[in-house]
Amino acid sequence: MASENMENFSGFMVPRADFKGEQFDTLIQQKGYRLLWQQGMFCSCYVPESGQPDYTCLTCKGKGYIYFGDTETRALVTSINGRKEQEHIGLQDLGSAYLTPLSTDNVGFRDRFVFLDFTMKYSQVITHEGEIDDLRYPAMDIIAVRRLDDVIRRGVDFHLSKDNKSIEWITDILEIGDKYSILYTTRPVYIAINPIHELRGSYTMLKGGGLEKFVKLPNQYQIKREDFIENDRVY
């Protein structure tokens, strides 16, 4: 990923090694995962003085961040891991990875990535609100729905909406305010939480020599599964 030219240093000719940014991008295009990249920004409900969002905000749902600009791209992802730690109030599963995007993708803190070629199981507790209950993530398939020991049946008690984002009730098996749990499959969603190599670039010699130009190289971020980020609060 480097080319060599000769440079004169104190009267000595030494090889010059230049990084080729396009070769990094070619590697990412060939070996990287397909992602849906969404840019993140503060929701206007966020209060800088307190460092807290409005937890009743309907736009960001109390997370303090909103996302926009869906873009399909590719990125290298390494060191994906998940570890379970026993805490005082239960079992918490933590997972993180390192993401290297294309040099042309201006990734930033709290950007969001949906892994398009993977699926995962996700369990959620929902408070019944009426004819339609929203899911946190689009469901690719519903595995089970339970209220304590009661089995709630798809196609009998409820349907999955056409956009896969909500439960549509057929029967009155639940009362308003009842809590129930659901297990379904969805695509993994990760959030950029830490710039590992945010400033990456190099000066390279133009063809023919004599002039240099600055070339931006792919940066790197630590990413973490969105549902593992503690309380989904603003960092």
If we measure between CA atoms, which residue out of 142, 85, 134, 107 comes closest to residue 35?
107
Stretch 176-181: mean pLDDT: 96
DSSP the chain: -EEEEEEEETTEEEEEEEE-HHHHHHHHHHHPEEEEEEEEEE-TT-BTTTTB--TT-TTTTTSSEEEEEEEEEEEEEEEEEEEEEEETTEEEEEEEEEEEE-TT----TT-EEEETT--EEEEEEEE--SSEEE-SS--SEEEEEEETTEE--BTTTEEE-TTSSEEEESS--S-TT-EEEEEEEE--EEEEEEEEE---EEEEEPTTSS-EEEEE---EEEEEEGGGSGGG---
- Using a pLDDT cut of 70, give the percent of the chain over it: 77
In which residue ranges of the chain is CATH 2.40.10.370 found? 2-118+187-232
Stretch 38-61: mean pLDDT: 91
**pLDDT tens string 132-148:** 999 999 999 999 999 99
pLDDT score, position 63 = 87
Looking at per-residue pLDDT, the higher value among 217 and 189 belongs to 189
Taking a C-beta distance cutoff of 8 angstroms, is the pair 101, 73 a contact?
Answer: yes
Looking at per-residue pLDDT, the higher value among 79 and 118 belongs to 118
Looking at per-residue pLDDT, the higher value among 130 and 200 belongs to 130
CATH number of 2-118+187-232: 2.40.10.370
pTM for this entry: 0.77
Residue 67 has pLDDT above 80, yes or no: yes
Residue 20 has pLDDT above 70, yes or no: no
Residue 114 one-letter amino acid: V
Place of tokens 């809590």: 179
